[in-house]
Amino acid sequence: MKMMNEWIFAMSDIHAHYDIMQERIEQIIPAIEDGGKLILLGDYIDRGKDSYRCLQFAYDLQEKYGEEKVIVLKGNHEEWFIDFILGKGDEWLTEDDNFNTTGTFLTEEQRNELRTITSRAEILSFLRQNIKKNHKDLLNWTKKLFAYYETSTQIFVHAGVDEEIPEEEIDFCTLGTPDYVLTGKFPPSTGHFYKDIIAGHVAARTVADDPDFKGIYFDGESHFYIDGSTTRNKRLLCLAYDDVNNKYYELMEDGRYVGLGK
């Protein structure tokens, strides 16, 4: 394997597909142990069946390798989840059909008890109370996740940044971008920007305007979109960046590094 001490790997929008996440992470663990970095761009929960396991896996990875080697960012789904737990709104439950997400944070005994409750207010109270009781450390960690990670030439972010910021304020781009844009920007931006933007949130096939597109989308200038629609395609895309040679690749499941044209 090539020396990886100057490499960065990035993944996004795992959406509760634990087996796929585990397989991909295991593929790059040797690179992390060789000095590389892994950046996870958010949306670990919802849609799949293993929300708790995916979020806990990200937590455990950072605990094991440290915050300098494993950078975990928040996505809009983590924001919605924490807001729900803190009682700031229950709109997020529209993403939680039959409690497929919240249920994974409960014990089997608690899930059985949940099925006996008919009052919506009591259901919400039960979920909040028990998830907080079960996962205090994990929730506190999730609440404190950063919304972006910046290098001298790149911004890794779940959704995007304010690209209309005046040129004279460009060095304060991330500082000046509200959190709701960092985690929920839509529509996605393309074209030239002063730093490379590596983002998820919007499916790469959508940005490419091609329903059959299944890889990482590079717009030819400054934007890489790495949300591979894990639920639909059963694939988790992985961007690999060679910091020494300033080269971007898509790391395939079979171990091939496919150049992304920059």
CA–CA separation, 111 and 136 (whole Å): 18
What confidence tens digit (pLDDT) does each residue in 27-48 have?
999 999 999 999 999 999 999 9
Candidates 147, 141, 192, 138; CA nearest to 170 is 192
Candidates 80, 115, 116, 74; CA nearest to 95 is 80
CA atoms within 13 A of residue 8's CA, in its CB half-sphere: 21
pLDDT above 90 as % of the chain:
90
* pTM (predicted TM-score): 0.96
Task: For residue 173, give every residue at least 6 positions away whose Cβ sits within 8 Å of its Cβ, in sequence order, or none.
Answer: 155, 161, 162, 163, 165, 194, 195
Cβ-count burial 106-135 (b if 16+ within 10 Å, e if not):
beeebeeebeeeeeeeebbebbbebbeeeb
Given a cut of 90, whether residue 259 has pLDDT beyond it is yes
Mean pLDDT, rounded, for 140-156: 97
Hey, where are the domains in the chain?
7-259
Given a cut of 80, whether residue 80 has pLDDT beyond it is yes
Work out the pLDDT band at 3, boundaries 50, 70, 90.
low
What confidence tens digit (pLDDT) does each residue in 154-210 have?
999 999 999 998 888 888 999 999 999 999 999 999 999 999 999 999 999 999 999
CA–CA separation, 144 and 54 (whole Å): 17
7-259 CATH: 3.60.21.10
CA–CA separation, 62 and 192 (whole Å): 33
Can you list the positions of beta strands (E) in 102-261? 148-150, 154-157, 196-203, 217-218, 223-227, 239-242, 247-251, 257-259
Residue with tokens 């639920």: 231
